[in-house]
A and B are shown apart, each in its own frame.
Chain A
Amino acid sequence: MPLREDSSVPEQLVFAMEVTLNGLMAGVLYALVALGFVLIYKASGIFNYAQGVMALFAAMTLVGIMNGQVPFAHLINAIFGGHVTHFGWTVPSFVAIVLTIGVMVLLAWMVQHFVMRHLVGQEPIILFMATIGLAYLLEGVADLMWGSEIKTLDVGLPQGINLWIDETTFQIFDYGFFIDNLDIVATIIAALLVAGLVAFAQYTKQGRAMRAVADDHQAALSVGISLSFIWVLVWSVAGFVALVAGIMWGTKSGVQFSLSLIALKALPVLMLGGFTSIPGAIVGGLIIGVGEKLFEFLIGPMVGGATENWFAYVLALLFLVFRPQGLFGEKIIERV
């Protein structure tokens, strides 16, 4: 609801409050993407450039399964002739999500088996380069498997203005705040995801093994932990996080190739929060979300707008001046 004309509440103040709330919600979405990076970096020291493409791949696979699309249909038609496109059935979203998780686990195994296993002991930059290659490969495979057209993703998540918040804030501030129902759901899911990840890491055997590997590979190996298994596990969890991020972003814009660019939104979050901290990803996301939205609201009109993309990096760099390891990152001290 618009600001009441006879309102005595300062309009810039209520607008700023609305912007802040929306910034927090956007920050949660950024954090969802950043989480995937953190998980893999923490466990294996690899900066996974392919994380954004994994979100794209997961979302495309989900929609493809839901719609009963024949994977690699273009390729099949080109080789064998014919016009197969769909199986003729649709799959309920819950079942499709479970099947997609299975695909992401398979992908994790393939990444470990065919790429990372052969690069054990290599410099981090080599591993990083390998993930760049993986990103391009995965994007091409996703294209071949499911096609390039934009797909509508509807897993039943609510979208649009939350009327309760609109009416409640109107009664308090004479102005109804806009909060998107999808952002609220994303916040709840992100909270559950983080709680689940923490519980997994703290209270399960595999989780503890994962932490042990993250702390010291050699020590973990010496007590019989399989590095190979742990890395498959970590890539699988990152794949699951990518699926969640893909669902959230794909619901907003449809599933399409630009989805892989959401990784760009995660980089300042990682710089700010630290590459090794799950809470850092969350807090970093919130700071970036609120910071960029408030800057756009307050300063944007003076400089022509469109400040969000670059201001997020400025904000992250400012933090780095004071804490080079990020807010929650591990301080590495190397003695010569």
Chain B
Amino acid sequence: MKLKMTTLALGAVMAASPVMADLVFPSLSYRTGPYAAGGIPFADGYADYFTLVNERDGGIGGVKARVVECETGYNTEKGVECYESTKGEGALIYQPLSTGITYQLIPKVTADGIPLHTMGYGRTSAANGEVFSNVFNYPANYWDGASGIINYLLEANDGDLSGKKVSLLFHNSAYGKEPIRTLEELSKKHGFTLSTLPVDHPGQEQKSQWLQIRRDRPDFVIMWGWGVMNQVAVQEAANIRFPMDKFIGVWWSGAEHDVMPAGEKADGYKAVTFHGVGRDFPVFDDIQTHVVDKGLAAGAGDQIGNVLYNRGMYAAMLAVEAAKTAQELHGTAEITPAMMRDGMEALEMPEARMSALGMPLFGPAFNVSCENHGGPGLVGMTQWDASAKEWTLISDFAPSDREVIQPLIEADSLAYASENNIEPGC
């Protein structure tokens, strides 16, 4: 009896003492299926950064971060299931790495009060924070990418694209169709002719599209691809001898595995980006020391510095910084999803902060606000060097054409607000 009472008393004391719960960051990853080659390095980079923060800094504000991984297979239904099954764990933020899943989650996260961060993908008009209170797509969105490509072409052609022919080769999905409207507006503004060439999932067979490109002889080809579509497109471009330096992909078509299968023939291919490339940043030394060398890496540790690993790591870093901002704002280390949302909305990422994190000039400096959840839309251009087998940043991060993009964001977001009875405001 005495022992029982002692045990009960001890249990009561333990239950009453303050236990710091983990900060939960679900990772809706895809390590299997046709898009795994892109999903794995992103998921590894995402997980490794949280491990680094735990190992090096003791967590975020003293509270350990916990990554809950759920396999979506890049399948929208599975993505929604993953959301439903993980949100109960106290999820602070979702980054589903899929435009299809994003579209399904927007109403759900808004109702549940959990923030959604879709960095460089998802619904572009979510940049309007007055309508999409819980959705963020900083530091750049698809339309910034499309505009960044056209700006780069303008610069390379003495500011004049009139009379030029531009073909858009796109994944025939909600994701692939995102840039069309922007490119149409830009073609009117700059006088180039735009033709669109859809490629059906998964994109293994593109002979028709490339025969048409060979017949039309466009001056430039822009690609909005993902998965096997990218590798096949680069190979087909090489086959018809389309000049690689006139072939530019969005950031989801610009990773190492997109160009490696084509070998030397992929040399010179370009892709727009919103973050740094390579592993020449101090943060990677920290990841090597505190994560990989300790055997804690999510993968084999051989993806560090690869484009999509860097992007996953960058996404995690922005989540950690938003969590820190939320902790400061609310004066507590144990933040809720609503507090996390506030942290994201108040996020400031000046260059000094990036440098302090071991990521100098890794991405553009930016601030988030209630009105602008999309950041400044600064994008740069990268180019593939096949002999060195590496991507190189060949331009500075430059602004996109806000004159064209902002009205499109306004129109699309207000249409969404009207359809969903949302009163825009901050």
Which residues from B are CB-within-8-Å of A83?
300-301
B424 on the interface (CB 8 Å rule)? no
A180-B239, A252-B235 given; A148·B261 CB < 8 A:
no
- Which A96-139 residues sit within 8 Å CB-CB of chain B? 139
Which residues from B are CB-within-8-Å of A293?
207-208
A85 vs B199: C-alpha distance in the bound complex, in angstroms?
A: 36
A280 vs B209: C-alpha distance in the bound complex, in angstroms?
A: 28
A149, B204: Cβ atoms closer than 8 Å: no
B280 on the interface (CB 8 Å rule)? no
Digitize B204-239: 1 where CB-to-A-CB distance is under 8 Å, 0 elsewhere.
110111011011010000000001100110010011
A26-B207, A148-B36 given; A261·B295 CB < 8 A:
no
A169 on the interface (CB 8 Å rule)? no
B40, A149: Cβ atoms closer than 8 Å: yes
A152, B36: Cβ atoms closer than 8 Å: no
B263 on the interface (CB 8 Å rule)? yes
B38, closest chain A residue (CB): A150
A265, B214: Cβ atoms closer than 8 Å: no
B300, A258: Cβ atoms closer than 8 Å: no
A19 on the interface (CB 8 Å rule)? yes
A260 vs B212: C-alpha distance in the bound complex, in angstroms?
A: 27
Q: Which one of A153, A256, A259, A309 lies within 8 Å of B200 (CB-CB)? A: A309
A256, closest chain B residue (CB): B37
B172, A254: Cβ atoms closer than 8 Å: no
B204, A152: Cβ atoms closer than 8 Å: no
Instruction: With a 10 A CB-CB cut-off, give which of A2, A256, A258, A306 has the most chain B CB atoms.
Output: A258
A178, B240: Cβ atoms closer than 8 Å: yes
Instruction: With a 10 A CB-CB cut-off, give which of A22, A178, A259, A265 has the most chain B CB atoms.
Output: A178
B260 on the interface (CB 8 Å rule)? yes
B263, closest chain A residue (CB): A152
Which residues from A are CB-within-8-Å of B257?
149-150, 254
A300 vs B235: C-alpha distance in the bound complex, in angstroms?
A: 23
A196 on the interface (CB 8 Å rule)? no
A306, B199: Cβ atoms closer than 8 Å: yes
A78 vs B23: C-alpha distance in the bound complex, in angstroms?
A: 26
Segment from B26-34, B142-150, B411-419 that makes contact with A = B26-34
Number of residues from A at the complex interface, CB < 8 A: 46
A180 vs B206: C-alpha distance in the bound complex, in angstroms?
A: 12
A256, B300: Cβ atoms closer than 8 Å: no
A15 vs B227: C-alpha distance in the bound complex, in angstroms?
A: 29
A160 on the interface (CB 8 Å rule)? yes
- Which A256-315 residues sit within 8 Å CB-CB of chain B? 256-262, 265, 293, 296-297, 300, 304-306, 308-309
B235, A159: Cβ atoms closer than 8 Å: yes
Q: Tell me the minimal C-beta distance from A161 to chain B in angstroms.
A: 6
A152, B227: Cβ atoms closer than 8 Å: no
B197 on the interface (CB 8 Å rule)? yes
Q: Tell me the minimal C-beta distance from B213 to chain A in angstroms.
A: 10
B196 on the interface (CB 8 Å rule)? yes
A259 vs B231: C-alpha distance in the bound complex, in angstroms?
A: 12
Which residues from B are CB-within-8-Å of A19?
208, 211
B239, A258: Cβ atoms closer than 8 Å: no
B243 on the interface (CB 8 Å rule)? no
Digitize A17-34: 1 where CB-to-B-CB distance is under 8 Å, 0 elsewhere.
011001000100000000
- Known interface pairs A180-B207, A257-B36; 11 further A-B residue pairs with C-beta atoms within 8 A, sorted by A's residue number: A22-B207, A22-B211, A150-B260, A159-B238, A178-B211, A178-B214, A256-B228, A265-B205, A304-B198, A305-B209, A309-B200
Q: Which residues of A contact B (CB under 8 A)?
A: 2, 15, 18-19, 22, 26, 74, 77, 81, 83, 85, 139-140, 143, 148-150, 152-154, 159-161, 178, 180, 249, 252-254, 256-262, 265, 293, 296-297, 300, 304-306, 308-309
- Could you write out 17 A-B pairs with CB less than 8 Å apart? A148-B32, A161-B239, A178-B211, A249-B204, A253-B261, A254-B231, A257-B36, A259-B228, A260-B34, A262-B204, A265-B204, A293-B207, A300-B208, A305-B209, A306-B172, A308-B208, A309-B200
